[in-house]
Amino acid sequence: MKEARIKKPEGQQRLFGLSTPVRSAVIPPLSAARWLLVLIVAAGVYFFHGFLVPVLAALVIAFASWPAYRRLLAAVGGNRTIAATLAILFILTFLVVPIALAGAYASNEVREWVGWAIETNREGAVTPHWIATLPVVGDWLNEQWTRNLGHPGGIGELIQLISGANIGSIYRGVLAAGGSAFG
């Protein structure tokens, strides 16, 4: 059985619109892909920004030690496991251990300095001889030291001078002066 087809003149529209609907995406696929890529990169930066400095440090160490690692690899006959183990031990010995020792030394120095500051604030301190005998500025530094640190409570006074409450008062004063000058 043959189906009857109705022929319509070309260029004439159907009663209820075009015969083939024209569909286009609201957001073109290429634009959507670009925005998704931007969002992925932004999320990566947000989540991994804390790892940026350690990764860069590791890259510097890796690039700097690569020629030595290649020579070490040749010296152990191409055995990567032994070469990698020795390379890590060398890096730990000559890089990590000295940095750890310097950190321990620095923390001890800070502890000593805090102890000195507490003692100086409690009793005051005389100007060290080497500061008083500096050429050109020694007399001025001696005078400043004696005025600010030569008496008990001197460090406390300096801290109070630069504390948040005093800075807030200065800020409010500047705002008041600026408001009256421009208002």
Block residue for tokens 């290429």: 30
What per-residue confidence (pLDDT) applies to 113? 92
How far is residue 33's CA from residue 40's CA, in Å, rounded to a whole number?
10
CA distance 126 to 148: 11
64 within 8 A of 91, measured Cβ to Cβ: no
- pLDDT at residue 48 in the model: 87
- How much is the pLDDT for 181? 58
Q: What angle, 0 to 180 degrees and rounded to 10, lies between the N-to-C axes of helices 97-123 and 154-161?
A: 110
| Per-residue pLDDT, 99 | 93
Which sign does the torsion angle of CA 25, 30, 33, 38 carry? negative
Model pLDDT, residue 161: 79
CB 131 within 8 Å of CB 142: yes
Q: At CA 132, angle to CA 131 and CA 133, rounded to 5?
A: 90
pLDDT at 60: 94
* pTM exceeding 0.85: no
Cα separation, 128 vs 79, whole angstroms: 60
Tens of pLDDT, residue by residue, the chain (183 residues): 555 565 655 655 556 655 565 677 677 778 888 989 999 999 988 888 888 889 999 999 999 999 999 999 999 999 999 999 999 999 999 988 999 999 999 999 999 999 999 999 899 999 999 999 999 999 999 999 999 999 998 888 888 877 766 666 777 777 777 666 555
Q: What is the 3-state secondary structure (H, E, C) of 107-159?
A: HHHHHHHHHHHHHHHHHCCCCCHHHHCCCCCHHHHHHHHHHHHCCCCHHHHHH
pLDDT at 100: 94
**Helix 52-75, helix 80-91: angle, nearest 10:** 130
